[in-house]
Amino acid sequence: MSLSSLRLLNNYSTISKAMVCEKHGQPKDVLRLKEIKISKIKDDEVLVKFLASPINPSDINQIEGVYPIKPRFKEYGAVGGNEGVAEVIAAGSKVKNLTVGDWVIPDTKAFGTWQTYATSPENELQKISKNGISSISAATISVNPPTAYRMLKDFVNLKKGDVVIQNGANSAVGQSVIQIAKAWGIKTINVVRDRPNFDELASELHKLGATLVIKEEDLRANSTRELVKSLGSPVRLALNCVGGKSASGITRLLGHNATIVTYGGMSKQPLTFGTGPFIFKNLRACGYWNSRWNKEASKKDKQYMFDDICELIRGGHLAEPWHDETKWEVSDDNKTLNKKFMEALSKAGKSFGNKKQILTFE
Amino acid sequence: MSLSSLRLLNNYSTISKAMVCEKHGQPKDVLRLKEIKISKIKDDEVLVKFLASPINPSDINQIEGVYPIKPRFKEYGAVGGNEGVAEVIAAGSKVKNLTVGDWVIPDTKAFGTWQTYATSPENELQKISKNGISSISAATISVNPPTAYRMLKDFVNLKKGDVVIQNGANSAVGQSVIQIAKAWGIKTINVVRDRPNFDELASELHKLGATLVIKEEDLRANSTRELVKSLGSPVRLALNCVGGKSASGITRLLGHNATIVTYGGMSKQPLTFGTGPFIFKNLRACGYWNSRWNKEASKKDKQYMFDDICELIRGGHLAEPWHDETKWEVSDDNKTLNKKFMEALSKAGKSFGNKKQILTFE
């Protein structure tokens, strides 16, 4: 333990600058920058300094109160943000598995990651092997890569050469799906809505490893069916984060005994399936919620997965998600910090935005 | 082997009277009574005399050509009917597992059961232990009881006291579900459409063992939700043969981690599910098709199930389905046989008819 962290541990009055809400509401209305006095860590706790934290759509829904997981309200309110990476800068005497300098991500719901410092029991954190990993990658490793990883692994026993179809392929999860599938030798059919810069987007997705990129508007075309056939294997897994017609469209391209996994509903339209495909093609529809997996999985399973994902990152298979960075600098006054956050928040709130908004802390 | 069957085996010219179509079409237009000369059985074949055969909706769809399983067209056409019970009246020298007097049901697709006699390789037949079983029960044992049995067994690991919900509860499968569930200590919530004789129907379903009987129109009522809650266990399995609003309605009453199995689509409306329940309640939607199970299951698994179902029948747990009987008598001329069949067919074609039409052979 370094001298500076010892000092912090024994005699400090660290102030965390945090985006806090005192009640549910539109984040832009209820969130504001607050200074929170960090209390001295207990024996089983660590003090961490955040390095980077994204603003995810579910963070926003959580503050609105429309998400099944609620913020952790304390006397000063609730700090927003569920994902992020922090560095351990002090550890209590009974902390076993973490040491100063380790990188950690939250391993509990509603941690509150939009802040500069926090204390936490060590069992509510997950260690990330930081060697060769950027803070941007680490800050975005908790939700999207695991969602892609688990959906590709847990529903269908995929083999090399098998084919997966997904809509919302340009989403952060979509990008992870393309890259992890590519690393595992699985072909991906990637559906995105038409847009003025479609060719550019398709080219970006191909660079990530996409096998095919298809416009949602072309899902029902015969040419699409032929293209899918040309891959030589039936589509065994569909990943849906859109719902409505898009979900029906990708379902139509599935082979026998395929599974469609829903993990989002961006169109706000329900899922509609024909009765016939369920009965005669033996389709199966399920949902995936990363928070449930997190809650139910063992520490060992989580460590295994994150080690595996870190290996993919180190091996160059899984790039940082497309993002904008918002830097909180030490020299910024509180008004500036608040303003910077609100600008990033407003960009994060735009649906179907391709770029993740990430707050980084000097 | 009896003298008479030996005679038959060695020197007979049995004529089967059969309902035959030469092409696809409306059954009433394309089916007609034909006399088919039964050829001498081969060493691995048996000659059977049919005792009873139902007219099922899927038999009709098959003749129309809109069912995934097609009729077996031969030079004289295809005999209709997939289900029925027959008695072995002669067996070839290499037949191992069947003997004269045994009762058998088809164990292959599109057998052709609307006829008085047939020959068949023994491996295309399944033996039924006839002791204590009526020919009506045996004739209707191939499809509906197994559909109910497998749906209750293969999707969710149900324990005594668990709750299952089903729509179309008055269908033949629905009746089997109620009775088998009752025998296994599982509670059933049974949804049927409102009708003038609702109370009478509900009373019949309660007699079979139904825990609750609910009108489809009341599915969304708060009182229904309370009633379901009062059962004390979350609903873990839904069985759907209707689709559309009825399917959405029963889905709404499901507990976490429940499965909805679709085995029919009487409303001809697609299945619509909210995105949220898939993700946050971890619902799963699948299909069940008895023909697929039949194709994929081993002879041993089939024998085990039919023995189990026969035990349920013998134990008084599984009654004959509600039915009308149409008797083909030896004294009837061909015109009369044809007319009797067509009358039964016209009743069988009425959708949502509660009563199964069963042809019996003197």
Domains of chain A, CATH where assigned: 3-134+321-361 (3.90.180.10), 143-291 (3.40.50.720)
Interchain proximity A270–B271, CB inside 8 Å? no
pLDDT at A352 over 60: no
Span A344-361, mean pLDDT? 83
Among all residues of chain B, which has the CA nearest to that of A273?
B271
Option in A278, A280, A283 nearest B68 (CB):
A280
pLDDT confidence bin for A106, thresholds 50/70/90: very high
Q: Report the alpha-carbon distance of residue B259 to residue B254 in Å, rounded.
A: 8
Span B55-76, mean pLDDT? 92
Chain A stretch 263-292, residues whose beta carbon is closer than 8 A to a beta carbon of chain B: 263-265, 270-289, 292
Span A317-330, mean pLDDT? 95
Interchain proximity A289–B273, CB inside 8 Å? no
* Alpha carbon distance, N-terminus to C-terminus of chain B: 22
CB B20 within 8 A of CB B32: yes
pLDDT at B98 over 80: yes
> What pLDDT is attached to residue B11?
45
Option in B262, B279, B281 nearest A279 (CB):
B262
Q: Report the alpha-carbon distance of residue B137 to residue B132 in Å, rounded.
A: 10
CB contact burial B44-75 (16+ within 10 A = b; e otherwise): ebbbbbbbbbbbbbbbbebbeeebeeebeeee
Which of B273, B275, B283, B292 to mutate: most A Cβ within 10 Å?
B275
**Chain B environment of A243 (Cβ under 8 Å):** 275
pLDDT at A13 over 70: no
Q: Report the alpha-carbon distance of residue B59 to residue A282 in Å, rounded.
A: 21
Number of C-beta neighbours around residue B362 at 10 A: 10
pLDDT digits (tens, 9 = 90+) for A180-237: 999 999 999 999 999 999 999 999 999 999 999 999 999 999 999 999 999 999 999 9
pLDDT at B353 over 80: no
Instruction: Return mean pLDDT, chain A.
Output: 93
Query: CA A296: distance to chain centroid?
Result: 18
Interchain proximity B270–A271, CB inside 8 Å? no
ipTM: 0.84
pLDDT at B4 over 90: no
A66 touches chain B (CB under 8 A): no
Q: Report the alpha-carbon distance of residue B120 to residue B133 in Å, rounded.
A: 23
**Chain A environment of B281 (Cβ under 8 Å):** 287
Question: Which structure tokens are listed for A322?
Answer: 């497309």
pLDDT digits (tens, 9 = 90+) for A119-168: 999 999 999 999 999 999 999 999 999 999 999 999 999 999 999 999 99
> What pLDDT is attached to residue A94?
96
Q: Report the alpha-carbon distance of residue B119 to residue B79 in Å, rounded.
A: 13
| Alpha-helix runs per DSSP H in chain B | 3-10, 27-30, 57-64, 135-139, 144-154, 172-183, 198-208, 222-229, 244-252, 275-280, 290-296, 299-314, 334-348
Pairing of strands A323-328, A356-361: parallel
Nearest 5°: CA angle at B43, between B40 and B44? 110
Cα–Cα nearest to B145, from B294, B285, B267, B259: B294
Report, in this order, helix, strand and coil percent for chain B, each rounded to 5: 35, 30, 35
- The alpha-carbon gap from B108 to the nearest alpha carbon of chain A, in Å, equals 17
Residue A225: its H or E element? helix A222-229
> What pLDDT is attached to residue A63?
96
Option in B265, B278, B289 nearest A285 (CB):
B278
Q: Report the alpha-carbon distance of residue A97 to residue B254 in Å, rounded.
A: 41
Span B304-319, mean pLDDT? 97
Pairing of strands A15-21, A78-79: antiparallel
Pairing of strands A31-37, A15-21: antiparallel
Catalytic residue (one of B67, B76, B288, B304): B67
DSSP readout, B18-43?
EEEESSSS-HHHHEEEEEEEPPPP-T
Which of B58, B257, B279 to mutate: most A Cβ within 10 Å?
B279
pLDDT digits (tens, 9 = 90+) for A158-184: 999 999 999 999 999 999 999 999 999
Residue scoring higher pLDDT (B215 or B5): B215
pLDDT at B12 over 80: no
> What pLDDT is attached to residue B232?
95
> What pLDDT is attached to residue A10?
44
pLDDT digits (tens, 9 = 90+) for A273-300: 999 999 999 999 999 999 999 999 999 9
Query: CA A32: distance to chain centroid?
Result: 24
Phi-psi group of B94: left, alpha or beta (phi > 0 → left; psi -120 to 50 → alpha; rest → beta): alpha
Interchain proximity B287–A271, CB inside 8 Å? no
Span A51-80, mean pLDDT? 94
pLDDT at B86 over 70: yes
CB A313 within 8 A of CB A137: yes
Q: What is the pTM of this model?
A: 0.88
pLDDT digits (tens, 9 = 90+) for A238-286: 999 999 999 999 999 999 999 999 999 999 999 999 999 999 999 999 9
Task: Determine whether B269 is exposed, middle or buried from the number of CB atoms within 10 Å of its CB (0-12, 13-18, 19+).
Answer: middle
- As beta bridge partners, residue B168 has none
> What pLDDT is attached to residue A7?
46
Option in B270, B282, B289 nearest A279 (CB):
B289
Q: Report the alpha-carbon distance of residue A93 to residue B348 in Å, rounded.
A: 79
Annotation marks residue B12 as catalytic: no
A154 touches chain B (CB under 8 A): no
Option in A262, A276, A281 nearest B278 (CB):
A262
**Chain B environment of A283 (Cβ under 8 Å):** 286-287
pLDDT at B351 over 80: no
Residues for chain B: how many in total? 362
Q: Report the alpha-carbon distance of residue A28 to residue A341 in Å, rounded.
A: 10
**Chain B environment of A68 (Cβ under 8 Å):** 280
> What pLDDT is attached to residue B39?
86
DSSP readout, B138-190?
HHT-SSHHHHHHHHHHHSS---TT-EEEEESTTSHHHHHHHHHHHHTT-EEEE
pLDDT confidence bin for A11, thresholds 50/70/90: very low
> What pLDDT is attached to residue A6?
46
Among A11-25, A51-65, A208-222, which is the least confidently predicted range? Answer: A11-25
Chain A stretch 164-183, residues whose beta carbon is closer than 8 A to a beta carbon of chain B: none
Phi-psi group of B209: left, alpha or beta (phi > 0 → left; psi -120 to 50 → alpha; rest → beta): left
> What pLDDT is attached to residue A12?
54
Catalytic residue (one of A67, A117, A149, A304): A67
Interchain proximity B283–A279, CB inside 8 Å? no
**Could you tell me the CA-to-CA distances from B324 to B142, B187, B314, B355, B357 in Å, in that order?**
18, 29, 22, 6, 5
Option in B264, B272, B292 nearest A270 (CB):
B272
Task: Determine whether B13 is exposed, middle or buried from the number of CB atoms within 10 Å of its CB (0-12, 13-18, 19+).
Answer: exposed
Instruction: Return mean pLDDT, chain B.
Output: 93
* Alpha carbon distance, N-terminus to C-terminus of chain A: 21
Interchain proximity A263–B271, CB inside 8 Å? no
Span B184-191, mean pLDDT? 98
